[in-house]
Structure 1
Amino acid sequence: MDHDDARSGPYDPHGDPFLRTRFAVPAQPDTFLRRERLARHLDGTLRTPLTMVNGCAGAGKTLLVADWVAGHPELPVAWLTTDTDGQGPGMFWAYLLQALRTSGVPLPGDIASPADANRVGDALPARLAALLSARDRPVVLILDEFDRVTAPEIAAQLDFLLRHSTPGLRLVLVTRTEPLLPLHRYRTAGELTEIRDAELAFTPGEAARLMEAHGLRLSPAAVRGVVERTRGWAAGLRLCALAAEEAPDPELCLKEFEADRSAVADFLLAEVLRRQDAGTQELLLRVSVLDRFGPRLANAVTGRADAEAVLARLHRGNAFVQHIGHGVYRLHPLFAEILRAHLRMRRPGLEPELHRRAAVCLRTAGALPAALGHGAAADDWEFTASALVDDLALGQFFTGPRADILATLFSRMGPRGGEGPAPELVRAAARLSRGDLAAGAARLRRARQRTARYDGTAGEADTAAVRMGCALLDALVARLSGAPGRAEDAVREAEALRDLLPAELLDRHPEFFALLLDHLGSVRLWAGDFTGARDALTRAAVTGPGAPATALPREDALARLALLDVLHGWPDRAERTAREALAETERSGLARPASSGVERLVLAAVAVEREELGRARALLDTAGESHPALRDPVLEAGRALVAARLHLARGEPAAAWKAVEPGVPADADSPWARGETALVAAAADLAEGRPQDAAALLPEVPRDQPACAVGAARVLLAAGRPEAAVRLLDRAAVDEHAGPSVTVRAALVRARAADRAGDTTAARRLVTRAVTEAHREGLRRPLAETGSWIRPYLTPAPRHRRPVPSRPTGTPPPPVEELSGRERDVLRRLALAMSTEEMAADLYVSVNTVKTHLKNAYRKLSVGRRSEAVRRARELGLL
């Protein structure tokens, strides 16, 4: 990429301006030869969904298609020249969408560019297909240099788009290699127009006309000979024409070219490069290290001031310098490769210096990604790391769009690549992005030490960006280690440094403070500062809305806000916020493990509250697939606690205790994590008939948090201390500060205490309130936890006192056969009024298996209906 092409406008997933030259239809050179037979063949594009122009490098594919486009000005045409080899799906689709916009195709707001350069969801191709299929007039989409697209998922998504866009899309692939699309299917259906190497080859008549365009009038025999020797290869023919133009004997020159078919490189150097003056030869050798370049970049690399005129002359002279639009040039790939090899031979050791000059020029122009690439190619890691840190782009190691690129680039740096603070800071970021806390923290300490030494010789403003980077990584280390004080210090430091940096720089990198706030919010959540956590996470969730680089911190902040709602007993609100986080993931193209995973943890916790245990298990299994830099104590403690509560709901107290028993290592204690862990252990003790052991765990439970207070009250109640349980609820003011998941349990604790005191009226009123609220919120777990005492209160109280027929005395007869464990599972779900389908999903079995278990249970209980089975099971103490 060249800084001359970095202009304001829409941004790609890396946060860089789209390169407009990639949407430009290439212009034909003066010596271009229009070949009518190929143009007529290309007219098949209008009749078939897919057209493929497949030929070797230099076969004239791009100019052929560009000429065909010029001959059809009435067609809506979107042109995209694909980028470097191996580009990710997110970047490919972002550019494809921009190509459509550039061509005038209106795209609605729900078709947004992906945020992650390496990933894209299936929703985007589906929405685009729906839009194109509704068009009255098809769009011709031309993908030039499609051989650079090597990702199988891109080919699969393009195939889906093409199949579902008919008749609104005509796709033209210009490629050197066979694309991964299922060509056989299109070919069999007559839906493919193909132009291949053999057809692209020049015929003798066409070659003669090409030579005439170069001022050469050759005999038919000479033309046939050069066509045979080059096999009609367009680039080879043009190379021959260029070499023969000024030769005293053109036909002899062409015959000598025949002498060594492996001497194309020698030919290019001797007959194309040598015909230029010494200064132009030097310019070509030096710009060969560049991919695309404008005059300013060429001047910076060559040390000249006249590159613009020289490049224009070379382009006009067809000297393998291609003008691709907007003042940007590139060398023919074969020519560039040969020139680089010759540069190393003629100017050994110069190539790194050329890359260094390019890096400096590009950094000055604000083209950071290209500057980093050239800095790395120069092996100048002090410059490269400083460019990243000074641009405040260190957060891009964590935010997805450029993370993989930066990790790959700096993996070549090595332990001794640069001695200043910036390289050490980059090493720390690279290790922390992989979740290596110990190594990352050690590197961060070294970066701090080197910054302190540098501060002695530089002003405060000179080290502001480095210290900002240190603050960001300090906040991340604090988050991963559970150290709230360190996080607060880091954020204060960053805020104090903000005024020392240009506002434009801060605006260009919204991900910096989005990450900082997300780290702060998470570590406050760990410390039990719920109010402070909500404030920081809310600010993180709205920082840089729509910016691809802020997608990950926005998603993670929303997910942790949902976790706060779970801890406060608001399952419905938590579910909505978690789904909003999932929508952010889908909208931005983030995918596991690039996302936080917390939203799935929240949804699993909500599913447990609703007794949707199978769904909870599935969600919990995926909650661990998170970004390595987000696997902090909050996530680990949350996963352990939800897993434990799932085991309790399944009647597995020993497994519940095992899930939380190791604890989560952290520098500081988390009161809510400690309290919730103690409550899980107490619940396991209660389930195994040890109420006094459960009560012994209560000192670990904080009483100022409503959810923990209710859990402690339930333990006190089970230990035979109902008055103490009610007093605890009164002191915690549970009903004023908590959501329904907590208040329902609080009401049931009060109801049980009233029942034990003989106040059945109060007990019935409290049970009615709890059941009504639980039903409204879809909560089944709080009622399932109560035990058998609640059953008399679940039937309406009689309105009038009248004699009640005496019930048979004695114990009901046992079932004819003992129920299996699975049949008991089915009965428990039957009592919760679950449908057969819900039971099947919850138990991970088929509907027919559930029906078999029900049939066996009915037989053993001697009943014929659901209601009878539930009543009989309760009489027998099976529920």
Structure 2
Amino acid sequence: MDPVGDPFLRTRFALPLRPDTFIRRERLVAHLDRALDTPLTMINGGAGAGKTLLAADWAETLGQPVAWLTCDPADRAPGVFWAYLLQALRASGVRTADEVGSPADPSRVDHTLLARLAAGLSGRERPAVVILDEYDLVTTPEIADQLEFVLRHAGAGLRLVLVTRTEPLLPLHRYRALGTLTEIRDAELAFTPEEAATLLDLHGLRLSGAGVRALVGRTQGWAAGLRLCALAAQESNDPETYLKEFEAGQSAVADFLLAEVLKQQPPETQELLLRVSVLDRFCPDLANAVTGQQDAEPRLAALHRANAFVHHLGHSWYRLHPLFAEILRAHQRVRLPGLERELHRRAAAWLHRSGPLSETLAHGAAAGDWEFTARVLVDDLAIGQLFLGLRSDDLGELFSRMAPDADGPQAHLVRAARALSTGDIEHGLAHLRGAEEGTAPDLPAPDTAAVQLNCALLEALAARLTGSPGRAEQAARKARLAEQDVPADTLERHPELPALLQTHLGSALLWAGRFEEARTALSAAVASPGGAATALPREEALNHLALIDQIDGRPGRAERKARAAISDAERFSVPQPSGSGLGQLVLAAVAVERNELDEAQALLDQAATRHGAPDPVAAAAHVIAGGRLLLARGDAPAALETAESAVAAAVSSPWAEQQAALIASAAHLAEGRPEAAAKVLDDAARLHPACAAAAARALLASGRADEALRLLDDVRTVEPGGPAVTVRALLVRAQAADLAGDTVAALRLVVQALRQARRELLRRPFLEAGPWIRRLLAAEPAQELAADWLTQRPGPPAGGPPDGALSPAPVVEPLSARERDVLQRLAQMMSTEEIAADLFVSVNTVKTHLKTAYRKLGVNRRNDAVRRARELRLM
């Protein structure tokens, strides 16, 4: 009998039964095994965390008797608590409890009884293991003091395990400091994805790895939540979809949390929880602003201590368990209809004064107050973040929901920014006009400066997208004027604004061919401070500078800048390709010059997946890289078609036209039309060294060697281009000398070209030169200069070459596997149609492979191709 006179309830001493779907979690059992080495163990977690089943499973497999007591609210009386604890010890076979006796008074316990118990336990050879489940129901400080007394004086004779939702009133700090406390807390009790998959499997549910991870993320590994979800999903025809989309507020999970957590709180705390459920995170001041109360701080601290699904994030910030928050929001809509928008409005107002911009915008949007939300974005000068990879997706998605009736200059600016960021120039410009017309002229300068500065930024972007350098310069001037009326601290928070302005200006100037002015603006953007905030405009500016180097024929310098841009962007997790994809396009053009054609194609494919709006500079860069790659692959008609594709812009671009003309000229020449090749370059040949070199090559091919050389001599007065230009000019001169019979001069010029090309690994100029160069590349000293990076060194045939025989001239470019397949069948006297049928390709494809193989082997006929391939042991 207990001190009240009632019989002991035997169910309180029994180990709870584990369900059939219970899984033993070895990592937790192994941790709990340490309880045998420390006097005190605490399993502390929220409702349904799996604490009790873990302790029961461990106790049953421990291999020794365990005293188990499930606590009860009646145990708040010291006499009742100790009577039940002593009875639990007797039931487990601890004879010391029989010798101690039992309390007679429900309200008190004699100190002598506790001393006898501690002394009896201290003499045991094997410690008694006591597990107190639901110890959070024992809230009497006197009992905590008594329990700590017995634990301390029992020494090695007692191992106490407390299973609780809250931290007990014991001096835990002392045990922690001495290393004599074993703890398992909420975070460790959470199911891992692997454990969750096993649990679901026991319920007959097989989910994909992604489905399991999504469920664990939504429940945060909460044991009861996982079990309840699994039980509900068993009734569904599509469990994975159900678990992904189920409405938490209308589920058994909601019933559990509302009953076990929410309804256990006082009415005032329930109201607090319902209102803060609209917040992703909150501090006491924010919670007070949302609820209209002043006592959030002690209530939140108490909820956290009670493991009531309120997690402390540090620095007085909290968040709700995501599933609990979801359920509370659903319950709030029923219990407090119509209040949700007002709660978001209050949160937005508080955060606008004291919190991060992103959360202010999110709550403003949730409140449906779009004019406020747009005004916050514009006044904070954050509209540039709509174009930055780090924030653009989130902001774009948020403002995609903006109501169509939202008015005011700020709303127009946001719409303009969204339109321009996707390349919708027409609507972007229309909204820009709306923003400018909606700015009241009689407002003080500080009230309009932010609108004007953001207008200037967007006008500069529009100028870049349309290739309008004059408009870009005008926008830059407007921005400098507006900056004078913007608070300095606001400008300092947004270093991305001037960086974006300079990038847009530099791009527009570059399009117009004003390279020096473009370099000045772009270099200013590259030098911008701000770390992650300016990572994207810095990358874009550096890629534009790389493009200028590539246009000038300096591929090595271009590559270094483009790779530096990508490397810097990756430091700040900017997704690649970012912006206009210009870096990949520059690298693709460099790869073509080095004849790394697969790499060039991969880079072009990457650039095609860019996230930013297209602009004329990037469009022209795509034409250049794509056209040159087509030429390198031997598809002259497609290259010519690419070169003739128009790039829309407000003004023409001299360099874009020159580069397109170079591709068209090379395509005509490859198709055997040297006169057309020269004519394409008539206007540009005397203005740009690269065009002069290409025109001279075309003139030479048409038999006009003197004109070709005069053109190269005349262009010397123009600023010389980089290695890619000078190497081509040297090879034209070498070919002219070779045709004139001056082999010595031709070899000397080829050697000069090799020396310049070797530093940059420029292979394409030699591959484009034609069969005549192979003989010179095989001669000393050209052979040594070309070895290993430009030509192959064929080994001797089996048995060694006969005395005095020369090795065949090396192949400038190796044959592909498919080209070798075609040659093998050619050697078998198969027709083009038979080869196509045998390889399961079209006749045109076979012809393309043959044409490329002929070019690489320096021959024009089938028999010569087979003979040459055999000489080089390629067959």
> Which residue in the other structure is 1:780 paired with?
763
The code of the aligned residue for 1:583 comes to S
Change (3 A) 1:536 1:47: farther
Larger radius of gyration: 2
> Which residue in the other structure is 2:617 paired with?
634
Give per-residue Cα distances to partners, 1:248-282, cap 9 Å, x unaligned: xxxxxxxxxxxxx96975898877454x4xxx776
Give per-residue Cα distances to partners, 1:565-613, cap 9 Å, x unaligned: 2111112222222222332344333334545422222222122222233
Contact 1:644 1:660 (8 Å CA) reproduced: yes
> Which residue in the other structure is 1:438 paired with?
426
Change (3 A) 1:387 1:146: farther
Structure 1 gap segments, 5+ residues each? 1-34, 80-139, 160-176, 185-193, 202-260, 799-826, 861-865
Task: Tell me the SS of whatever aligns to 2:605.
Answer: helix
Change (3 A) 1:313 1:145: closer
Q: Give the superposition deviation at 1:655.
A: 1.4
Give per-residue Cα distances to partners, 1:270-324, cap 9 Å, x unaligned: 77454x4xxx776565444333322322333344555445655776788876655
Instruction: Measure, in 2, the Cα distance between the counterparts of 1:66 and 1:734.
Output: 86
Contact 1:585 1:595 (8 Å CA) reproduced: no
Change (3 A) 1:712 1:828: farther
The code of the aligned residue for 1:389 comes to V
Instruction: Measure, in 2, the Cα distance between the counterparts of 1:675 and 1:539.
Output: 28
The code of the aligned residue for 1:442 comes to A
Does residue 30 of structure 2 align to residue 44 of structure 1? yes
> Which residue in the other structure is 1:355 paired with?
344
Q: Give the superposition deviation at 1:784.
A: 2.4
> Which residue in the other structure is 2:365 paired with?
376
Structure 2 gap segments, 5+ residues each? 1-15, 19-23, 35-42, 53-162, 198-205, 214-220, 229-253, 782-806, 830-852, 869-875
Task: Tell me the SS of whatever aligns to 2:484.
Answer: helix
Count of residue pairs the alignment pairs up: 629
The code of the aligned residue for 2:499 comes to A
Does residue 451 of structure 2 align to residue 461 of structure 1? no
> Which residue in the other structure is 1:544 paired with?
529
Instruction: Measure, in 2, the Cα distance between the counterparts of 1:710 and 1:397.
Output: 44
Contact 2:263 2:270 (8 Å CA) reproduced: no
Change (3 A) 1:56 1:636: farther
Change (3 A) 1:264 1:325: closer
Counterpart of 2:537 (choices 550, 553, 559) is 553
Contact 2:778 2:809 (8 Å CA) reproduced: no
The code of the aligned residue for 2:557 comes to R
Change (3 A) 1:305 1:714: same
Task: Tell me the SS of whatever aligns to 2:442.
Answer: coil
The code of the aligned residue for 2:387 comes to F
Give per-residue Cα distances to partners, 1:368-393, cap 9 Å, x unaligned: 11111111111100110111111111
Give per-residue Cα distances to partners, 1:123-158, cap 9 Å, x unaligned: xxxxxxxxxxxxxxxxx99968989x99xxxx9xxx
Instruction: Measure, in 2, the Cα distance between the counterparts of 1:789 and 1:758.
Output: 12
Does residue 460 of structure 2 align to residue 470 of structure 1? no
The code of the aligned residue for 1:591 comes to P
Q: Give the superposition deviation at 1:491.
A: 1.8
Instruction: Measure, in 2, the Cα distance between the counterparts of 1:47 and 1:495.
Output: 69
The code of the aligned residue for 2:507 comes to S
Higher RCO by CA contacts (8 Å cutoff, separation 6 or greater)? 1
The code of the aligned residue for 1:299 comes to N
Q: Give the superposition deviation at 1:525.
A: 1.7
Change (3 A) 1:457 1:855: same
Change (3 A) 1:691 1:59: same
Q: Give the superposition deviation at 1:413.
A: 0.8
Instruction: Measure, in 1, the Cα distance between the counterparts of 2:758 and 2:309.
Output: 75
Counterpart of 1:291 (choices 271, 280, 293) is 280
Change (3 A) 1:532 1:792: same
The code of the aligned residue for 2:422 comes to R
Instruction: Measure, in 1, the Cα distance between the counterparts of 2:589 and 2:304.
Output: 65
Contact 2:45 2:164 (8 Å CA) reproduced: no
Does residue 498 of structure 2 align to residue 524 of structure 1? no
Contact 1:567 1:707 (8 Å CA) reproduced: no
Instruction: Measure, in 2, the Cα distance between the counterparts of 1:603 and 1:460.
Output: 46
The code of the aligned residue for 2:421 comes to S
Q: Give the superposition deviation at 1:511.
A: 2.2
Q: 1:781-800, aligned counterparts within 5 Å?
A: 781-790=764-773, 793-794=776-777, 796=779
The code of the aligned residue for 2:487 comes to P
Give per-residue Cα distances to partners, 1:725-754, cap 9 Å, x unaligned: 444434443795321111111222333455
Q: 1:610-625, aligned counterparts within 5 Å?
A: 610-625=594-609
**Normalised TM-score (structure 1):** 0.62
Q: 1:225-236, aligned counterparts within 5 Å?
A: none
Change (3 A) 1:64 1:610: farther
Instruction: Measure, in 1, the Cα distance between the counterparts of 2:299 and 2:544.
Output: 58
Give per-residue Cα distances to partners, 1:78-122, cap 9 Å, x unaligned: x9xxxxxxxxxxxxxxxxxxxxxxxxxxxxxxxxxxxxxxxxxxx
Change (3 A) 1:344 1:413: same
Instruction: Measure, in 2, the Cα distance between the counterparts of 1:195 and 1:356.
Output: 32
Does residue 811 of structure 2 align to residue 831 of structure 1? yes
Change (3 A) 1:317 1:792: closer
**Normalised TM-score (structure 2):** 0.62
Give per-residue Cα distances to partners, 1:663-695, cap 9 Å, x unaligned: 111111000111221222222223333333333
Give per-residue Cα distances to partners, 1:824-867, cap 9 Å, x unaligned: xxx99962064xxxx4xxx4x4xxx566566678899xxxxx9x
The code of the aligned residue for 1:457 comes to D
Task: Tell me the SS of whatever aligns to 1:569.
Answer: coil
Q: 1:676-715, aligned counterparts within 5 Å?
A: 676-701=659-684, 703-715=686-698
Task: Tell me the SS of whatever aligns to 1:500.
Answer: coil
Change (3 A) 1:72 1:289: same
Does residue 353 of structure 2 align to residue 364 of structure 1? yes
The code of the aligned residue for 1:432 comes to L
Instruction: Measure, in 2, the Cα distance between the counterparts of 1:478 and 1:679.
Output: 27
Change (3 A) 1:142 1:584: farther
Contact 1:578 1:599 (8 Å CA) reproduced: yes
Change (3 A) 1:871 1:529: closer
Task: Tell me the SS of whatever aligns to 1:658.
Answer: helix
The code of the aligned residue for 1:364 comes to R
> Which residue in the other structure is 1:744 paired with?
727
Q: Give the superposition deviation at 1:877.
A: 8.3
Counterpart of 1:59 (choices 49, 65, 80) is 49
Instruction: Measure, in 2, the Cα distance between the counterparts of 1:653 and 1:347.
Output: 71
The code of the aligned residue for 1:44 comes to A
Instruction: Measure, in 1, the Cα distance between the counterparts of 2:302 and 2:581.
Output: 57
Instruction: Measure, in 2, the Cα distance between the counterparts of 1:586 and 1:460.
Output: 39
> Which residue in the other structure is 1:482 paired with?
467
> Which residue in the other structure is 1:600 paired with?
584
Q: 1:198-237, aligned counterparts within 5 Å?
A: none
The code of the aligned residue for 1:633 comes to P
Q: Give the superposition deviation at 1:717.
A: 3.9
Worse-superposed segment, 720-729 or 509-518: 720-729
Instruction: Measure, in 2, the Cα distance between the counterparts of 1:348 and 1:73.
Output: 50
Give per-residue Cα distances to partners, 1:587-645, cap 9 Å, x unaligned: 3333345454222222221222222333323332332221232x211111121222222
Give per-residue Cα distances to partners, 1:339-392, cap 9 Å, x unaligned: 656655666544323322221211111411111111111110011011111111
The code of the aligned residue for 2:600 comes to A
Task: Tell me the SS of whatever aligns to 1:640.
Answer: helix
Q: 1:89-488, aligned counterparts within 5 Å?
A: 180=209, 196-197=223-224, 265=258, 272-274=265-267, 276=268, 286-305=275-294, 307-308=296-297, 324-330=313-319, 340=329, 344=333, 348-416=337-405, 418-451=406-439, 454=440, 456-488=441-473
Give per-residue Cα distances to partners, 1:789-816, cap 9 Å, x unaligned: 5456546599xxxxxxxxxxxxxxxxxx
Give per-residue Cα distances to partners, 1:502-527, cap 9 Å, x unaligned: 33322322222222222222222211
Instruction: Measure, in 2, the Cα distance between the counterparts of 1:196 and 1:307.
Output: 29
Contact 2:774 2:810 (8 Å CA) reproduced: no
Contact 1:552 1:596 (8 Å CA) reproduced: no
> Which residue in the other structure is 2:236 paired with?
none
